[in-house]
Amino acid sequence: MEKVIILRYAEIYLKGKNRGFFENALETNVRRALKGFAYELAKQNGRYLVSKFEEAYGEDIIEKLKKVFGIHTLSIAYETDSDMDSIFEAAKIVCREEGAFKVESHRGDKKYPLTSIEISRELGGRLLACFHKLTVDVHNPSFTVRVDIRENGVALVFGDFIDGPDGMPVGTAGKGLLLLSGGIDSPVAGHMMAKRGMNIDSLHFHSYPYTNMQAKEKVVELARILSEYTYGKNLYTVSVTHIQEAIHEKCRPELMITLLRRFMYRIAERLAKRIKSQCIITGESLGQVASQTIEGMTSSNSVVETLPVLRPLVGFDKNEIIDRSIKMGAYETSILPFEDCCTVFLPDFPAIRPQMQTILKEEAKLDVEGLMREAFESLEKIEL
């Protein structure tokens, strides 16, 4: 008898002849997640089995696997011979000593001498005889003992299903560049796109010395948290201090955020093309702040020449975003009180519905290309 971990996928089943591509990507990501652990990984007819690991690290391995997109559920199981005596010995470990229970059985091996119902009846009877405080309730049990008879002559005995993150394996849906601020929204946006299989690099804009180094360290930590789901990748940082100073000096104050975001999108697209990203990802939610009105989004989009801009949070309210931030483990870092670049030269009354004609008139006062060149001179790459 051996303790193992069963990995199951769901959405990958919908794939046709290219299912193997997604299965291989999932296997690769499992191996990335478990780097540093001793284990064996085997594919078994639409699922994977992690075995030969040290039981002392079992919980750590489960926590790593719960961040692998593409996994639907996991179970800690006992792999044993498929005779009823061996199955019973494993079931005694899984079973509680009291409470209402039922047994669910599945035969992958259709040549097995007992049917699924007969397996459940036989095993349930043995458990009742062993644990006298047990009762049977097939409709509303407090726990379930599950048996899976496999085609290779072994049985898997387990109790609970542990929810995985679902989605598609990272690396199966192209590459995107995430505009990563120090707030709650953008890490969640990156997490959601990674869940759909996208590789993620991140770009952060800072305003040193108006913002301190702790603000940058906070963003590095957020990128590290996101990298637990994306297996590394890069964080790029760019200074926009000189751009903000130029806008503050020459342009109408209520357009500070609007004009700054247009520069951010220009920089993002040029960097994305340089590093071969196929889209720009933002954490914008419609109407959440002054710059995230439809007019503000239109202004930002208008400077992006060829790449799509993805806004996975556009229809979410703040509570939904916070719930996702907590679940992915980023919330406590996101709320640390270090200001980001958007708080520098913040006007008292930012434009909520900026008009394009006014924006272009104000922007004409700036040396756009000169400011862009200076921004790229500050480009820094941080490998995660």
- Alpha carbon separation from 23 to 32, 192, 335 (Å, rounded): 14, 20, 37
Three-state DSSP state, 198:
coil
Domains by residue range for the chain, with CATH:
2-163 (3.30.2130.30), 175-383 (3.40.50.620)
Q: Which run of H or E residues covers position 43?
A: strand 40-43
Which candidate, 125, 172, 155, 123, places its Cα nearest to that of 22? 172
Predicted local confidence at residue 215, as pLDDT: 86
Check if the beta carbon of residue 81 is closer than 8 Å to that of residue 20.
no
Predicted local confidence at residue 44, as pLDDT: 84
Looking at 112-233, which runs of residues are DSSP E strands?
133-136, 143-149, 154-158, 162-163, 175-179, 199-206
Q: What is the pLDDT along the chain (384 residues), one digit of tens a residue?
A: 999 999 999 899 888 889 999 999 999 999 999 999 999 999 987 789 999 999 999 999 999 999 999 999 999 999 999 999 999 999 999 999 999 999 999 998 888 999 999 999 999 999 999 999 999 999 999 999 999 998 888 999 999 999 999 999 999 999 999 999 989 999 999 999 999 999 999 999 998 887 778 888 999 999 999 999 998 789 999 999 999 999 999 999 999 999 999 999 999 999 999 999 999 999 999 988 877 899 989 999 999 999 999 999 999 999 999 999 999 999 999 999 876 655 666 676 778 888 999 999 999 999 999 999 999 999 999 998
Three-state DSSP state, 379:
coil
Instruction: For residue 204, give the amino acid letter.
Output: H
pTM of the model: 0.91
> Which residues, 6 or more positions from 355, have their beta carbon under 8 angstroms from its beta carbon?
295
Structure letter (DSSP) for residue 160: P
Predicted local confidence at residue 95, as pLDDT: 97
The residue assigned the tokens 């800690």 is 76
Burial (CB < 10 A; 0-12, 13-18, 19+), residue 321, is buried
Predicted local confidence at residue 345, as pLDDT: 66
